[in-house]
Structure 1
Amino acid sequence: MSNKAAQWWELPVPAVFPQTYLRIAQERGIPAQIILEQARLPLDYARTPGDLTMAQMERLILAVWDVTGNNGLGLDVGWQLPPTAFGNFGYALLCSATMADAIQLCHRYWHLVAPGTALSLRSEGAWFVIEISIPSILEPRFHQLFLEVTFTSLCHGFQLLTGTSVNELDVWFDFAEPEYADRARQRLGTVRYGKANNRVRFPTHLLDTQLGMHNPMALKFAIEQCDRESALSHAQSNKLEAVVRERMVFSVNGYPGLETISRQLNMTSRTLRRRLEQEGTCFKTLLGDAKRRDAVRMLDDHDLEIQKVAGMLGYRDPANFTRAFRQWTGQSPSEYRRTRRSG
C-alpha cells in the first residue's frame, strides 16, 4: 500500500456517519452489538460514539451490508443526514442568504464532513454541476455506498433548503444500476448509472433562491465555529501538503490561489510557501497536480469539448492545455480520449 493510501485510511470519519449506519441496522432489526462485533469494533461504541478512521468505517459499512443486505442502504443512511445532522457546518448552510452562498460554504468546509474527497463546482450552460471525486482504492461496495450516502444527503439538503422537488435534480453515478434504482429516482430525481463521473446538477437559476432561515448573526457564529474546527483538523495533520491538496479543488471561480488558501489556513502566503518548500514541494506543483487530476476527469466526460475543458481549467489558449496535458500523460487530450474509447 502506498503512503498516500495508508494516510487516507487513517483519516477521521465524523461520528454522525457510523451512528447513522448503526441506527439503520437497528431499524432493520439488527442490534448494534452484532454489527460492531463483525466489524471488529469496541462493543461499547454505540454507548460512547466518536470519530472512526476510514478503515474502521469501511469495516462497519460492509458489516451492515453483510448482515442486513443492501436494498438501498446508502439511500436510507443519506436520507437521515440532512444539514441539521452536521452541526456547525449544517447550521451555516441553513443560515445562508441564498443557495449560491450555501453551496460556496459547502465547498469551503467540505473537508470537515468528507475528508480525503474532492468537491468541485462549475456551470455548464443552463446547469450548475457539483461533482465529487473519491479515491480509487475503495472496495466496490464501499465505493457505491459512500457515493449513495453522499449524494442522497446532498439532494435531501438541496430540497429542504430550496423547497423544490426532485424533478429539478439530475444525478450521475459511476457504478452499475442496482435493483432498487426506482427508489433512488423517487428520492433523488433523474438518476443515471454507469457514467464517467459522479455528480448532481440542477438549473443554474436556482442558485438565486432565497433561503427562509437566513440569519446573519447565526451565520457569522457558525462560520467562526467551522473555522475553529478546520484549524484544529489542520493542526492535527502531519503534512501541510495534504491539507493544501485537499483545498485545491475546482469551483466556479477556478482554483483557489495562494493568498486564498493562506487566509483559510490562518497563515501568511510567505509562511505557506516556506512550509511547503520544507516538505519538498511548492504551490505551483500542487496546482499542476490538481489540473492534471481534473483534466483527466473532465476528458472522461465526452459531452465536454476539449476546448471547453481547457478554458475551464484556466488555459486561454487550447494549445497550451494540449502541451501541458502531453507533459502529464504523454498523450494529447484527443489521443487520450481515443485511447479511453478503444479501451
Structure 2
Amino acid sequence: MSAPDKFPLFHNVLFRLAELGFNIPQLLKSVGISPTVLTEPQAALNTADYFAFWQAVEKVNHDPLLAFKLLDGNNQAGNEFILLAMLHSGTFKEALQRLARYKAMVCPQSVILHETSDNIRILSQWQYSQQPEPHIITDMFFGAVQHILDRSLPNAPKPKQIELQRPRLLADYSNYFGCEIQLNSRENALIYAKSDLNLPLAHSNPELMLLFGESNTPTLTMDLISQIKQEIRQCLNGEKPTIEQVAKQLFITPRTLQRRLKAEGISFAKLLEAVRIESAETLLTKVDITIGEIAFYLGYQDIHSFSRAFKKWTGKSPMLWRKERKYA
C-alpha cells in the first residue's frame, strides 16, 4: 500500500533554516504555496510542492554545506521522530531498516537498501514524481544517515563512496563526508562497507521517554507490573517489543518473567497491548505527530493494524479519538 502524497515539513528543520536567515514564508510564496501551511499542526506538502520549496531554497542559498548545517544547532534534526528511533536501534542495519519502514508508512519517499557481497547501497525513490529530487534533499538524506553514525559511535565509519547525478561539487562537500564522490552518476547512492551494517548503535536516549511526558529515572518503590511497563516503553522505538528484550533489561530470563507475570494474572501480550494503547493515547494528544508516525513508533507494521488494535481497545479509531478531544 502506497503512502499518501504528503511529505512532512519537519519543524526542527524549518526552525534551523530560519535560524540561518532564510525567510520561509517568503520562500513558500515564491513558488505559489500559501505560508498558512506553517500554522498546521501536521504541516505537509505534496511531492511537487515539496520539491519546489527546496528548489526555492537552493536558488537563494550560497552555502554548499547548508543541508548538513540543518542537522546541528539547538533544534537538532536528530530529535525528529524517526531519527530518535534510529538512534535507539541495536545496529546500523536495524536503523536503516527502521528508516525504510518509516518512509513506507508516512511519506511518498521510499528508501532502497541494496546489499552486495562487499557493500550496502542506500538510495531513495519518489512514488509521485519522475523528476530528479533537488540536490539539497539528497544531501539532507545522506547527511542524516551519517549523522546517526556520528552520534552513536566515537570513531564513526565514513561512506566508501557517494554517487551523485549532479555534474559538479565544491570541495567542502567532499571534505564533509571524507570519501570518494562520483559525479554524473546514473543515480544518487550512499555506499558503506557491508561490515558496517553490524556496528552496534546502542544509544541511551532520554528523549524517547520525553515523548510520553515521562521520566526514565528508575524508582525503588515501583511494583513489578509498573517496572515491566516502563521497560516496554523503553523498547518502543519503531519495533514491537519482545519478552526477551524486556527480560534482558530486567536481568532475568524470559521464563522467569513469564512465571512472574502469570503469578500477577496477566500475560506479556496483554501488558504489551495495554502499554501500546496507553502510549498511543499520549502521542495522539501531540498534534504535530501524525497517526502514521505513531503507528510506526509503537511497532505496528502498518496504519491499519494500529487502527484496528486501537479501535478494539477504545471503541474508536485513532482519528475519531483525537477529533473528539479536539486534538485534530
**TM-score range with shorter-chain normalisation?**
0.5 to 0.7
Could you tell me how far 1:122 is from its partner in structure 2?
3.1
Q: TM-score, normalised by structure 1?
A: 0.53
1:13 to 7, 20, 39: 7
Could you tell me how far 1:162 is from its partner in structure 2?
3.4
1:249 maps to which residue?
A: none
1:86 aligns with 2:80: yes
Q: Which runs of 5+ in 1 are unaligned?
A: 1-6, 235-261, 268-343
**Which range is displaced more, 161-170 or 201-210?**
161-170
**Which range is displaced more, 70-79 or 48-57?**
70-79
User: Could you list the per-position Cα deviations for residues 124-150 of structure 1 after superposition, in whole angstroms to 9, with x for gaps in the alignment?
Assistant: 22322223234694555x432221221
Q: Which amino acid aligns with 2:168?
A: E
CA distance in 2, matches of 1:62, 1:94: 29
1:97 maps to which residue?
A: 90
CA distance in 1, matches of 2:290, 2:96: 21
Could you tell me how far 1:56 is from its partner in structure 2?
2.6
Structure with higher helix content = 1
Distance 1:34 1:59, change over 3 A: same
2:183 to 183, 193, 196: 193
Distance 1:85 1:52, change over 3 A: farther
CA distance in 1, matches of 2:120, 2:23: 42
Q: Which amino acid aligns with 2:102?
A: Y
Could you tell me how far 1:16 is from its partner in structure 2?
0.7
**Which range is displaced more, 95-104 or 31-40?**
31-40
1:175 to 166, 187, 197: 166
CA distance in 2, matches of 1:22, 1:266: 32
> Retained in 1: the 8 A contact 2:8–2:45?
yes
2:51 maps to which residue?
A: 58
User: Could you list the per-position Cα deviations for residues 229-282 of structure 1 after superposition, in whole angstroms to 9, with x for gaps in the alignment?
Assistant: 999449xxxxxxxxxxxxxxxxxxxxxxxxxxx964656xxxxxxxxxxxxxxx
1:222 aligns with 2:240: no
> Retained in 1: the 8 A contact 2:122–2:191?
yes
1:118 to 110, 114, 136: 110
Q: Which amino acid aligns with 2:8?
A: P
1:210 maps to which residue?
A: 200
Q: Which amino acid aligns with 2:28?
A: L
CA distance in 2, matches of 1:172, 1:136: 23
2:140 to 123, 140, 149: 149
Query: Aligned-pair RMSD on alpha carbons?
Result: 3.9
Q: Which amino acid aligns with 2:113?
A: L
Could you tell me how far 1:21 is from its partner in structure 2?
4.9
1:303 maps to which residue?
A: none
Provide the secondary structure at the position in 2 that maps to 1:222.
Answer: coil
Could you tell me how far 1:14 is from its partner in structure 2?
1.2
1:160 to 151, 173, 180: 151
1:41 aligns with 2:33: yes
Distance 1:100 1:79, change over 3 A: same
CA distance in 2, matches of 1:58, 1:232: 24
Q: How does 1:238-249 map to 2 (within 5 A)?
A: none
Taking every aligned residue pair, what percent have the same amino acid on both sides? 14
Q: Which amino acid aligns with 1:38?
A: S
Could you tell me how far 1:39 is from its partner in structure 2?
3.1
1:184 aligns with 2:178: no
Q: Which amino acid aligns with 1:63?
A: A
CA distance in 2, matches of 1:169, 1:210: 19
Higher relative contact order (CA 8 A, sep 6+): 2
Q: TM-score, normalised by structure 2?
A: 0.55
Distance 1:46 1:207, change over 3 A: same
> Retained in 2: the 8 A contact 1:79–1:156?
no
Could you tell me how far 1:200 is from its partner in structure 2?
1.6
Provide the secondary structure at the position in 2 that maps to 1:174.
Answer: coil
Could you tell me how far 1:31 is from its partner in structure 2?
3.0
CA distance in 2, matches of 1:136, 1:266: 22
Q: Which amino acid aligns with 2:79?
A: A
Distance 1:99 1:53, change over 3 A: same
Could you tell me how far 1:166 is from its partner in structure 2?
5.4
